[in-house]
Amino acid sequence: MSHARQRNKRRIGALAAVGGLVAAGVAVSGAFAAQSGGTPSGTGPAATAARLPGPSAATLARTLVARLGSASTAGGWIAADGSPVVAVTDGTAAAAVRAAGATAKLVGRSSDQLAAVTAALRSAPRVPGTAWSVDPATNQVVLQADRTVSSADWQRLSATAAQLGGGVRMERTESTFTPRIAGGDAIFTSNARCSAGFNVTDGQQSFILTAGHCGPVGSPWAADAADAQPLGSTVSDTFPGSGDFSLIRIDSAGVDQPSAVDLGNGSLQQITHAADAVVGEPVTRSGSTSGVHSGRVTALDATVNYPEGTVTGLIQTDVCAEPGDSGGPLFDQDAAIGLTSGGDGDCTVGGTTFFQPVTTALQALGVQIPAAGAGQGAPAGTAPSATAAAQPAGAPGGDGLQSRRRLSRHRHR
């Protein structure tokens, strides 16, 4: 292998670690969007909560929901002013939420009852081109149907929703729900390509975490389309079904795997931990096709009926994505949130994008993000301590994860 190829291979490894696999010589464009600021008037716990930055408000909301339980709550979200809100079903839970400095909203359906609604939709005959997710702000399950869904299927879905009372809201979309597959450059396997995501470790070996639809177990991966610079192979994948994630074992020595996200503007953002998403949370996504884009989490526990099959447990956002963006990271400052799965629309007209929760993938695969700074120049197979985060380069590391990737069909031109 030539020195030039060896250098390129090391560079591919580094970008894989930061999740920013890009076309040869083409950096991911865009910049990391800053969190909205502002100091609300007033004093006391509510005003204090409103002044919390996004991740702190999100952490408070998710902590309260977990502590109070699914029978007494129906999710949490970040309000327009940046303050945390928790939906509750009784006065006792409302008092606890207010005492913690968040806003309580009394609703008629608990998380358990909303889960029963989604279970009923899941048990109905499958209709490709549909998706549903929980919107805690309206205390409903939102059922969406794309343009491929026929009038007859729409009527059947409407009848099913009517049987579930006011727990379901029906919506039509103008595009189609698909995994974000398209042409481009990054890491390659047969006729597909995918942007590398989080660098992770099981304590013994090094891996790349990416989308499950990137390729089945046994898929060989290389840093170039000609397979002249092999990286490793897929050792675990989930898609469709209970998620969209896979693990590529790094078998080649000399692949650098830093724990950071490449923002495409000459700077890095380390990831210190993984976190569950909260509705309303400001998030940023990166991918090898469309670059860096920001938006907000709009719903949770989404089920998407892709043409390839049904995927459950996803995060829904209003962040745009395009073919080739699959596997890319979704993050909130130093918290890794998700991996790009699929959606509709594009970054010109906008659209809906679904993400695989990172916490779920890490737990299922038994891996973790290596410590920030570890793995820089380390050979494959070394076991840096767990971390993944997103902070400016040089920031201290911690525990967590990080992701950034995308999948696409490789088109010969």
Give the pairing type, strands 192-194 and 261-262: unpaired
Q: Which two tokens stand for residue 285?
A: 């996504």
Q: How many CB atoms lie within 10 A of CB 155?
A: 10
* Residue type (1 letter), 75: G
Q: 87: phi > 0 → left, psi -120 to 50 → alpha, else beta; which?
A: beta
Q: 217: phi > 0 → left, psi -120 to 50 → alpha, else beta; which?
A: beta
CA pair distance 404, 327, nearest whole angstrom: 6
CA pair distance 410, 184, nearest whole angstrom: 6
Q: Which two tokens stand for residue 88?
A: 């509750």
How many helices (H) and strands (E) would you count in the chain? Answer: 7, 24
CA pair distance 29, 266, nearest whole angstrom: 10
CA pair distance 153, 123, nearest whole angstrom: 15
Q: Which residues are catalytic?
A: 213, 244, 326
CA pair distance 155, 145, nearest whole angstrom: 11
- What does DSSP assign to residue 265? S
How many residues comprise the chain? Answer: 413
